[in-house]
């Protein structure tokens, strides 16, 4: 059977790092298996769903390189939900309930006060026709619950968590439809997964109890069960769940100047036994992706680790990969000269200004002023080619007896205005003869 995975965000906000990780892992598994990766916009909440959020989700996935094979919108599938809902109703697997939120909350508090699990008591199943008529006369509209089968346990073998076992008597019959007719997440998701042939549902461990109820929904619809994998949730670098993780997304990573592959490299293996490494291409991550590598321990996300990965990735990027993001005039030689000093590609503009000028050098020490004048005179006599830095410094060393810091630092300061930076052997030919002479003369 061909593998089909899906990423199903609600377009009610922007993607955060946890969403991105789930999308990535679904994409990696589909690509490794030669299958299909679907983008499904779960926009049944028509009031909160917005097209600009949907556009942002698409743009984020495209920036990361997570291309999907097909897209669906739940808001265009309501007719199918009605059809399946009617079949479940006819089979007695969904039933109307008339309790108000306040009444349900009171029952919940009573159960908790008695030390009992706050499980719905199925009171709606015992309503008489007269009671229903009374509620209807009051203007109450029913919400609908899926009736769990209490006669057998719910079991499955999770691809990450192993064997799972739930007693349905300890679960509330889940609400699948609100009193205004709108859908909650659980049932439409099952209907879509079945209809779209989804073979693997990979999501966070906060959905484990949802999976237990959804397994019975698949069975009630006569649909084959997909395989389920629930991965540990992300925590902050300090080891605690962090609200900040809910605000970190692609916009933040782009503001930091991160490469998409820095995000991919970290999130692909976060929570697994595999080492996090700086990749410039996702192919090795696709080839090595395996649910068996993931465990139940918290997955710690650290922005500093992502920044360090980015630093290493930038140092591997060839000119062709960044040419369209570099300042005008930066060719391959320029990129290779400044690349070792970059943490992000955006910093290239700052280093390129050393080449194009103007450069404001610190005033030379008295003993260095004559040395720089001599350097200018010597430079004027030498062929200005790729070996000019070596030729200049060797000539000055022979003329002055200077060596080490005394030989090189005054030249670097005069030519770049800095004590540290790109290799001068690569930089000086880019600066050019006239500009170099002017800088050595203090101009």
Three-class SS of residue 331? coil
Q: Give the contacts of 106 (CB within 8 A, at least 6 positions apart).
A: none
The enclosing H or E element of 388 equals helix 388-400
C-alpha span between 204 and 229 (Å, rounded)? 8
**b/e sequence 303-336, b meaning 16+ C-beta within 10 Å:** bebbbbbbeebbeebeeeebeeebeeebeeebbe
> Which among 143, 161, 268, 264 is positioned nearest to 207, based on CA atoms?
161
**Taking the mean position of all CA atoms in its chain, how far away is CA 282?**
14
Q: 243 among the known binding-site residues?
A: yes
Q: 10 Å Cβ neighbour count for 144?
A: 24
Q: How far apart (Å, rounded) are the C-alpha atoms in residues 200 and 160?
A: 12
Residue identified by tokens 């609600």 is 10
Q: 84 - beta bridge partners?
A: none
Residue 113, token pair as written in the block: 């006060």
User: Facing residues of 127 across strands?
Assistant: none
* DSSP single-letter state for residue 25: H
Binding residues for ATP: 243
From the annotation, which residues make up the binding site?
A: 243
């Amino acid at each position: 059977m061909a593998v089909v995975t899906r990423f199903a965000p609600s377009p009610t906000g922007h993607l955060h790092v946890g969403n991105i990780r789930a999308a990535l892992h679904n994409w990696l598994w589909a690509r490794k298996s030669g299958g299909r990766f679907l983008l499904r916009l779960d926009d049944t909440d028509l009031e909160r769903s917005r097209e600009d959020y949907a556009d942002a989700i698409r743009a984020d996935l495209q920036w990361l390189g997570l291309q999907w094979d097909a897209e669906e919108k739940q808001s265009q599938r309501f007719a199918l939900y009605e059809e399946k809902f009617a079949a479940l109703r006819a089979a007695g697997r969904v039933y109307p309930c008339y309790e108000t939120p306040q009444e349900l909350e009171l029952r919940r508090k009573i159960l908790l006060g008695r030390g009992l699990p706050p499980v719905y008591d199925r009171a709606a199943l015992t309503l008489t026709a007269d009671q229903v008529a009374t509620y209807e006369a009051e203007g109450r509209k029913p919400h609908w619950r899926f009736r769990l089968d209490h006669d057998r346990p719910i079991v499955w073998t999770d691809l990450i968590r192993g064997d799972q076992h739930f007693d349905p008597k300890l679960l509330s019959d889940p609400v699948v439809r609100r009193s205004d007719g709108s859908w909650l997440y659980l049932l439409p998701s099952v209907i879509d997964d079945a209809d779209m042939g989804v073979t693997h549902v990979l999501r966070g461990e906060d959905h484990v109890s949802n999976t237990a109820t959804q397994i019975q929904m698949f069975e009630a619809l006569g649909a084959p069960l997909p395989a389920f994998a629930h991965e540990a949730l992300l925590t902050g670098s300090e080891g605690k769940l962090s609200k900040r993780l809910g605000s970190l997304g692609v916009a933040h990573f782009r503001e930091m100047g991160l490469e998409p592959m820095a995000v991919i490299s970290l999130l692909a293996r976060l929570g697994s036994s595999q080492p996090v490494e700086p990749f410039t291409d996702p192919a090795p991550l696709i080839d090595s992706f395996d649910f068996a590598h993931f465990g139940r321990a918290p997955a710690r996300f650290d922005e500093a680790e992502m920044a360090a990965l980015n630093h290493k990735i930038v140092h591997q990027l060839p000119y062709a990969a960044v040419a369209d993001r570099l300042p005008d005039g930066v060719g391959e030689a320029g990129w290779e000269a400044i690349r070792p000093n970059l943490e992000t590609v955006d910093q290239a503009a700052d280093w390129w200004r050393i080449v194009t000028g103007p450069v404001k050098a610190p005033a030379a020490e008295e003993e260095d002023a004559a040395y720089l004048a001599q350097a200018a005179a010597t430079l004027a006599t030498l062929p200005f080619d790729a070996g000019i830095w070596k030729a200049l410094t060797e000539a000055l060393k022979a003329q002055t007896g200077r060596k080490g810091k005394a030989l090189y630092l005054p030249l670097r300061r005069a030519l770049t205005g800095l004590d540290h930076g790109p290799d001068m052997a690569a930089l000086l030919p880019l600066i050019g003869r006239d500009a170099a002479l002017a800088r050595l003369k203090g101009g």
